[in-house]
Amino acid sequence: MKVTVPVYETTVINDDGTQAQGSRRREVFYLKTKERAEEAETSFHLREDPNDKDFWVELTSFEEGKNGQDDTRTYVFGYCVYLHNGESTETLFDYIELKNIRQFEIDPDDRLNVKVEGYAVMADGIDGISKELGGSKNVLSEGQLSRIYRLIDEDDNNYGG
């Protein structure tokens, strides 16, 4: 999954109207999980331990705009287990929240879009990747997920996607 968030020069404001952070280029939305809803930061349902199952892995080597100088920030994730017919992933994040920013820093005619691109890949048959591991579901490593995503990214670039 690829998630792209707009970046603007903004000033974050506290609930009481005072300035929380100085003006700088930053993402204008938080992507949040229910568990961390009260925190003023982006959070994802990520695999924290290599033995965890059914969670997302961030593929940082494919991400763009980390420095805040671009007009967008792009995150890339892979789901670390094979899904069989009828199965679904856990959520990557649960909702999107506009940051509390100083009024009029963004032109009212601008469209503030969060672009979410989902990919489904038949990974079985990619060299070195198998959907079964000793009769149980295979948990894919970050390296395997990166190799799969690289193939998607190359296809998108070759076919104008």
What DSSP string runs through 105-147? Answer: SS-TTS----EEE------TTSTT--SEETTEEPBPPHHHHHH
For the stretch 74-92, pLDDT in tens is: 999 999 887 777 888 889 9
Q: What is the pLDDT of residue 29?
A: 95
Q: Dihedrals φ, ψ of 127, to 5°? A: -45, 125
Q: What is the pLDDT of residue 94?
A: 96
Q: What is the pLDDT of residue 161?
A: 46
Q: How far is CA 116 from CA 1, 17, 47, 60, 133, in A?
A: 7, 31, 20, 16, 31
Residues of the chain with confidence (pLDDT) below 70: 50-54, 123-138, 155-161
